Amino acid sequence: MHFPSIFRNKEQHLSAQDQVDAFLHPPGSDNRRLSPTPTRPTSSSGSSSGGSSSHSSHSSHSPAPQSAAPITRSPSSTSIFHKHHKNRSVSHNLPLDLPAVTNQSSEAQWEARATALTHNLALPRSLSMSRPAAAETYESELQNAIRLHEQGNLKESTELFAKLADPEGPNQPLSQVMYGLALRHGWGIEPNQEQAMIYLKSAAKLTAEAIESRTKDQQKNKEGIWMKKELILAIYELGNSFRQGWGVEKDPVAAREYYETAANLGDPDAQNEVAWCYENGFGGKKDKMKAARFYRMAEKQGSKTPGNSWIYKDKWMPKPGQPE
């Protein structure tokens, strides 16, 4: 994961959380995050009709990057994956008792669904689920890990993320996401996608438990808001793992559910990805009306996909009473 130095102003101190927040939603016409995720193929069996500005043309079978070069964080599927899985409608990776969303615009309902998604994430019995140490205790170390990554010192950065992610130590969810991504893509460490999945799941579960146990006052303070952002990030990356088969069997149904949950909690990357899923029938039935809606949601946040002018045609605009 690449954290642009533009978000660290020498005259204005930004916390590590502020840096990550700026990274998640940078300014500009295309706010998609950066990451070493392969891009969607351009073949007719697996590509979006509109295309995407942040998707490069290299194959999803390309080796994981070993340097700190800019990384595109737009996940993809291969045409073979799409061919064999497009008709699946169930997933053993999803809880059977996911709470229903009766109001598509209800953030509280989608948040409840996000935390419920983590209930089905199995972790090794040996892995600690103890309460994470206070984030501010490790603020400077997290900032340092981000800085090292920016400078291309991947080995040192990953070692520091590993220390902060240690379940027997700080047990920090955000660092677990970062360390999980390092393991998944081989950033300064030998790739281990199965271990990466464990850290991503741990981050999601820890954050979900913290969210479920907070008070109404805590929901509105800075820490409560950040916990939700951490959960959204973990949910999005788990969606990528299910989609690509990184450390887990490929599961398009679970991938779409994870993307849609993160999308409805405001994540523009997830909005674009679930839009593509609905447009192409990936992980379930095609629904161009929903696809258009999610593409528009992403565009409102500055993440525009070139060639998607069709989403504003009357045919795909919401009818009275439908969510925009």
Per-residue pLDDT, 49: 36
8 found inside a domain: no
189 found inside a domain: yes
Per-residue pLDDT, 9: 36
Per-residue pLDDT, 6: 26
Distances (CA, A) of 14 to 7, 11, 21, 51, 186: 8, 10, 10, 35, 28
For residue 227, what is the domain's CATH number?
Answer: 1.25.40.10
Per-residue pLDDT, 224: 77
Structural domain range at position 308? 31-316
User: What angle, rounded to 10 degrees, do the helices at 268-280 and 288-300 form?
Assistant: 160
What DSSP letter does each residue of 39-100 carry, written as one string?
PPP-STTT--SS--TT--SS-TTSPPP-S-----------HHHHHHHTT----TTS-TTPPP
321 found inside a domain: no
Question: 145: closest CA among 185, 187, 184?
Answer: 187
158 found inside a domain: yes
Per-residue pLDDT, 81: 36
Question: 227: closest CA among 143, 114, 122, 146?
Answer: 114
Distances (CA, A) of 156 to 37, 161, 189, 218, 296: 22, 9, 10, 34, 40
267 found inside a domain: yes
Q: What's the structural domain count of the chain?
A: 1
12 found inside a domain: no
Distances (CA, A) of 268 to 152, 171, 196, 272: 27, 28, 24, 6
Per-residue pLDDT of the chain (324 residues; tens, 9 = 90+): 444 332 333 334 445 555 555 444 444 434 445 444 444 533 333 333 333 433 333 333 333 333 333 333 444 333 333 434 444 468 999 999 899 998 888 888 999 999 999 998 988 876 666 666 666 678 889 999 999 999 999 999 999 999 999 998 999 999 999 999 999 999 999 999 999 999 999 999 999 999 988 766 566 677 778 889 999 999 999 999 999 999 999 999 999 999 999 999 999 999 999 999 999 999 999 999 999 999 999 999 999 888 999 999 999 998 887 777
Are the C-beta atoms of residues 250 and 258 closer than 8 Å to each other? no
3 found inside a domain: no
9 found inside a domain: no
